[in-house]
Amino acid sequence: MLVETEDAPSSAGSSSNSPLGKIKKFIGDRAHPLSQGYLCVKGKASVDMMEAEDRIIYPQKRVGERGSGQWERVSWDEALQDIAERMNAIIDEHGARAIAVQALPPKEYFAYDLFLEAIGSPTFFKHDAHNCFTPQLMSDVLTFGMLTTYINFKNVEDCETIVLWGVNLTETNGSKAVRVKDAVRKHGAKTIVVDPRPTRSAREADLWLRIRPGTDAALAMGMINLMIENDWYDADFVENWTIGFEELKARAAEYTLEKTAARTWIPAEDILEATRLFATSNSSALYTFIGATMGGNSISTLRLMGFLPALTGRLDQPGNNCTHLPVNMRMPSYYRPGAESDDSERLADQISADKFPLLSGPTALTAPYPNPAHVIDAMLTGDPYPVKALWTDCNPMVGLEDSYKVLEALKTLDLLIVSDMFESPTAHLADYILPVTNHLESNAITEYSGLNIISARVKCTEPRGEVREEADTVMEVLRRMGYGDKLPVQSYQELLDYRLAPLGITFDEFAEMGTFIGPDERGKYASGKLRPDGEPGFNTPSGKIEFTSKILEKFDYDPLPTVQEPMFSPLEEDGTQSELVADYPLVLITGTRAVEYYSTLGISIPKLRKRRPWPGLEMSPETAEEYGVEEGDWVKIEVSNTENSIVRQVAFIPGMDARVVNAEGLWYMPGEDLIEGTLMVGANVLTPLRDDIDPIMGGSTARCLVCRISKVENQIKAIAAE
């Protein structure tokens, strides 16, 4: 974005030494290769977030019982010294692995990697490791050797047919949504949207496949069968660059068009047309993300979806799915494919490494993370080892499944530190809340997963109060603990330069550039650009696209993807109606996001709250009529897998299947008791936190529960009055 202050204008491409003053206005940066000037409503509310009255701008120490919300302002010196001493005491009693950290982009990440490496702990508690980017990256590494189910959004105008599968770009990534719209309006691209909800992308699509939640694998397998049956695939490419085709062909044959339509609730003619359009266009690309990772059996599902562009034979060609080599800089572990070889000893007994060796430990396919269910269990039981401290810049009380269990686990901790701008429900439980910078107050390197670009975010105003850079706080605690000699740098500014050093530039030089785009070419698999040995092929054990995975076979998994019914499903495996339907007749989606909030950030900002004041339960008007409720009414939601329930406000969304409702994810009611405000409306009260949903990494079933609803009145009056 371009920012104008009272002293001088600055931008994302200006020097970090520019004069700083009070922000008067800012606009989107039209020179940015992805956003091209687009700003979402959250971006437009950036100053509101920065200047919010309820923002934490001084270190806060808990003085009452955990969860009482009683705080006192303390100095940074007092807070950091106490944290360091308590961390060391935990290490002395339980070992370094008893200390966990938790972070997610776009917040600070690299410093937490350095923290764990310095103290020797393997416990990076990435609370969405089972249902976000990690399963997608794992799936693509198994099939292609690196991330491939991403569209080249910088050149999306080259694409004739775009498939958006389980992604809602308008609400979650407006810059990419605008790039797709440009491809449609300016270049005549056609779009196919696979989503149970009538999102804006779905309503504007040339073809909307209104899928039954949790049946993405069945649809993908059926489309694969159609491509093979109709010879809508590149036989030469398959022969030369893939393995396992005959096995895939045999398994896909089970999913006839009729069976696929019955399982997915999508008309057969729409499935056939979508497959034909995707397979026979001169160029086509598929983009997927979180929607397909929360339906259970996610690794098989995502691999099957990746097989579709592989069968066309047009990988890494203009307008098709492309593989982008990461920019040659030091990336945080979130973006790194696999553990560092010299780190294997630290990771040998990482939580989950025994059950999920491809997710966790030294053999992990991607950055090694424990399954979140196992970390919560370790907090509660001490098995396989105690987890006694957590330092987080996230909000697991709202963001992780099974809220009651997470609450119980967080209360057991000897030390809980939250670095955040606001008192979130997780921060409400903390021993310390440490204030962090707003993105307008801080320099940063912005990474883009799946793209070969990085951008400079340049500080344009001074932080409020005693707010500090998150990384500086982390490194200062390490020094006070006695681990300063293990740090490669001593400040956040040095860390930015350290990360850019492989490119031969400093952050100040990078800020002048604004954006750095790494070298790229098409058809890299044929020229040896994807493998460390420089040989042609893909970075897989066979050197080819693996329909049957050598890695899965080595670890005694089925090497070929399977199709399974969701764990909580209205249908049995044979297609007959489940007994659950009698008591829980509706399929419930959770985990969706609205454009106003990011992981609950912004939920207390008046400008954003005015746009979206209440947590909704989306349903069709036909569903509302059947259950005797009207738009704006409040209903109780009960599910088959827990006795706990929540309440939500009815929101109409015409076009939704009458058998499906959606409880928007990541909500809590701001107020004095943030825990009560979470347990009253939070969707994750209903979702199970289990490790048996996906055989390879645990999985999530947040997008396909079954529920019943009933109108409520009395307990909602107090909420509406707030």
| Residues 141-151 pLDDT 10s | 999 999 888 88
Same domain, 396 and 487: yes
Same domain, 38 and 88: no
Q: How far apart are CA 26 and CA 196, in angstroms?
A: 36
Question: Closest Cα partner for 436 from 107, 114, 5, 112?
Answer: 107
* pLDDT for the residue 78: 98
437 Cβ contact list (under 8 Å, min separation 6) = 463, 467, 468, 469, 470
Order of strands across the sheet with 190-194?
Answer: 207-209, 190-194, 161-165, 284-288
Question: Closest Cα partner for 241 from 520, 533, 521, 526?
Answer: 526
Q: How far apart are CA 243 and CA 220, in angstroms?
A: 19
Per-residue pLDDT tens digits for 15-69: 344 446 677 777 888 888 888 888 888 888 999 999 999 999 999 999 999 999 9
Same domain, 511 and 614: no
Torsion from C-alpha of 707, 711, 715, 721, nearest 10 degrees? 110
Q: How far apart are CA 297 and CA 300, in angstroms?
A: 6
86 Cβ contact list (under 8 Å, min separation 6) = 389, 414, 415
Q: How far apart are CA 60 and CA 435, in angstroms?
A: 8
* pLDDT for the residue 504: 97
Range list of H helices, 188-234: 200-204, 216-229
Residue 460 lies in a domain: yes
- The phi, psi pair for 718, rounded to 5°, reads -65, -40
Range list of H helices, 382-458: 396-399, 403-412, 425-428
Which residues partner with 27 through β-bridges? Answer: 2
Per-residue pLDDT tens digits for 101-141: 999 888 899 999 999 999 999 999 999 999 999 999 999 99
Per-residue pLDDT tens digits for 362-398: 999 999 999 999 999 999 999 999 999 999 999 999 9
Count of Cβ atoms closer than 10 Å to residue 521 Cβ: 9
* Structure confidence at residue 358 as a pLDDT band (50, 70, 90): very high
Q: How far apart are CA 337 and CA 536, in angstroms?
A: 20
Residue 562 lies in a domain: no
Same domain, 484 and 598: no
Same domain, 440 and 416: yes
Q: How far apart are CA 238 and CA 489, in angstroms?
A: 48
* pLDDT for the residue 163: 97
* pLDDT for the residue 263: 96
Q: How far apart are CA 296 and CA 291, in angstroms?
A: 11
For 51-206, list the strands marked E by DSSP: 60-62, 71-73, 99-102, 161-165, 190-194
Residue 561 lies in a domain: no
* Final residue belonging to a domain, choices 312, 331, 355: 312
Same domain, 161 and 193: yes
Question: Contact, 487 vs 316, CB < 8 A?
Answer: no
> What's the rounded mean pLDDT across residues 700-704?
94
Same domain, 489 and 359: yes
* Structure confidence at residue 716 as a pLDDT band (50, 70, 90): low
Residue 294 lies in a domain: yes
Residue 368 lies in a domain: yes
Q: How would you classify the pairing of strands 242-243 and 161-165?
A: unpaired
* Final residue belonging to a domain, choices 492, 517, 542: 517
* pLDDT for the residue 573: 83
* pLDDT for the residue 150: 80
Judged against a pLDDT cut of 80, whether residue 516 lies above it is answered with: yes
Judged against a pLDDT cut of 50, whether residue 12 lies above it is answered with: no
* pLDDT for the residue 571: 86
Judged against a pLDDT cut of 60, whether residue 706 lies above it is answered with: yes
* 133-143 helix and 298-312 helix, angle to the nearest 10 degrees: 50
* pLDDT for the residue 19: 46
Per-residue pLDDT tens digits for 255-287: 999 999 999 999 999 999 999 999 999 999 999
Same domain, 466 and 599: no
* pLDDT for the residue 721: 43
Whether this model's pTM surpasses 0.85: yes
445 Cβ contact list (under 8 Å, min separation 6) = 329, 454, 455, 456, 457, 496, 499, 500, 507, 510
Residue 575 lies in a domain: no
Residue 16: both structure tokens together: 């970090």
Same domain, 211 and 288: yes
Per-residue pLDDT tens digits for 187-225: 999 999 999 999 999 999 999 999 999 999 999 999 999
- The phi, psi pair for 427, rounded to 5°, reads -60, -30
E strand or H helix that includes residue 246: helix 245-252
Task: Reply yes or no: is the peptide bond before residue 384 cis, omega within 30 of 0.
Answer: yes
**How many domains does the structure of the chain reveal?**
4
> What's the rounded mean pLDDT across residues 89-101?
98
Same domain, 588 and 676: yes
> What's the rounded mean pLDDT across residues 664-682?
94
Query: Residue 160's domain is classified under what CATH number?
Result: 3.40.228.10
Per-residue pLDDT tens digits for 464-513: 999 999 999 999 999 999 999 999 999 999 999 999 999 999 999 999 99
Residue 556 lies in a domain: no
Question: Closest Cα partner for 215 from 166, 167, 161?
Answer: 166
Residue 80 lies in a domain: yes
* pLDDT for the residue 599: 84
* pLDDT for the residue 20: 65
Question: The domain containing residue 363 runs over which residues?
Answer: 60-129+341-449+453-517
Judged against a pLDDT cut of 60, whether residue 434 lies above it is answered with: yes
Same domain, 298 and 158: yes
* pLDDT for the residue 42: 86
* pLDDT for the residue 5: 57
Question: Contact, 131 vs 702, CB < 8 A?
Answer: yes
What separation in angstroms does the CA of 369 have from each of 344, 351, 365, 385, 657?
A: 13, 8, 10, 15, 37
* pLDDT for the residue 653: 96
Q: How far apart are CA 267 and CA 195, in angstroms?
A: 14
Question: Closest Cα partner for 61 from 394, 413, 393, 416?
Answer: 416
Order of strands across the sheet with 99-102?
Answer: 71-73, 60-62, 432-435, 415-420, 389-392, 99-102
Q: How far apart are CA 165 and CA 219, in angstroms?
A: 11
215 Cβ contact list (under 8 Å, min separation 6) = 263, 264, 265, 295, 565, 566
* pLDDT for the residue 174: 83
Same domain, 45 and 64: no
Question: Contact, 599 vs 422, CB < 8 A?
Answer: no
Query: Residue 482's domain is classified under what CATH number?
Result: 3.40.50.740
* Final residue belonging to a domain, choices 30, 50, 70: 50
Q: How would you classify the pairing of strands 284-288 and 99-102?
A: unpaired
* pLDDT for the residue 448: 86
> What's the rounded mean pLDDT across residues 408-419?
98
> What's the rounded mean pLDDT across residues 525-532?
94
